[in-house]
Structure 1
Amino acid sequence: MFQSLDVFRTAMALARHSGLQQAVSSQNVANADTPGYRGLEIPDFAETLHQPLTGQRATRATHLNGALQDGLPEPHTRRATVDPNGNTVSLETEMVTAVEASRAHSKALSIYRSNLTLLRASLGR
């Protein structure tokens, strides 16, 4: 029954993804008034979760194939409307993104905690 505990790996991946999302969002907010700054974004968790694993491991970000050991997606520039000063950051969008990341992180911790409780109960501890 407990040979493969993928729920723990998935919950941890969601927590790490939402932490990266929060970091990218805070970087965007910090540079909201910087002329020419292009806002960054990362793909949704569902997109990164369903990507097939290549089986190769990258040791540097400049490698063409493989994934870095942490498995987190690389941020890319946002394709959005540009302000007159060349900035693409929208504070409203960043606020919504930060709240979504916070909710996803709380969800991941809740899933991890409840499954750990279930596992402990099944072991009789």
Structure 2
Amino acid sequence: MFDKLEIFRMASGLAKHAGTRQAVLARNIANSDTPGYRAQDVADFDRTYRGSDTGTQMRATRSGHMAGREMAHAAQNTDRADPEEPNGNTVSVEDQMLKAVETKRQHDLALAVYRSSLGILRTSLGRQR
């Protein structure tokens, strides 16, 4: 029922993106002592959700990027090797924790947008919570 309303698709997409990014950040932290491990991250949500004219349509940037309506957030190596690290590991636990806090805020925003939109929809139908 709600899958045709753009605001619900956007909130759902943001929540999925935040979950995917949290998983990648957790994997980075888990491998913070692994020699040669390169930290990864996912593309920003606005880049994956940007549209052509209206700004609300998703856009595939390469083949296999999106399967149907699902967003695929491929992990990308984003951090450069730190010359001070002799084992070649590029994970900075502090940076990963800051990114995790930012991602939690995005997830909280997605839930707030969803709740607010659901409340507006219920009110327009004449229903109370």
- Settle same-fold status: TM greater than 0.5: yes
Provide TM-score, normalisation by structure 2. Answer: 0.81
- The answer to whether 1:26 aligns with 2:26 is yes
How do 1:80-91 and structure 2 match up within 5 A? 80-82=80-82, 83-91=85-93
Deviation per residue, 1:52-77 (Å, 9 max, x gap): 535xxxxxxxxx61423431221111
Does 2:49 align with 1:49?
yes
Q: Superposition RMSD on alpha carbons, in Å?
A: 1.8
1:107 matched to 2:106: no
Identity among equivalent pairs (%):
45
> Hey, what's the Cα distance between the residues in 2 that align with 1:16 and 1:50?
16
- The DSSP-based 3-state class of the residue aligned with 2:28 is helix
Between 1 and 2, higher relative CO (CA 8 Å, sep ≥ 6) is seen in 1
TM-score by length of 1: 0.83
4+ runs deviating over 4 angstroms: none
Please state how far the C-alpha of 1:50 moved relative to its aligned partner: 1.0
Unmatched 5+ stretches in structure 2: 52-57
Counterpart in 1 of 2:67?
68
Map of 2:54 onto structure 1? none
Q: Once structures 1 and 2 are overlaid, which stretch shifts more, 71-80 or 103-112?
A: 71-80
Matched to 1:40, the amino acid is Q
CA–CA distance in 2 between the matches of 1:65 and 1:53?
11
* AA matched with 2:36: G
Partner SS for 2:71: coil
In structure 1, C-alpha distance between the alignment counterparts of 2:46 and 2:86, rounded to whole Å:
34
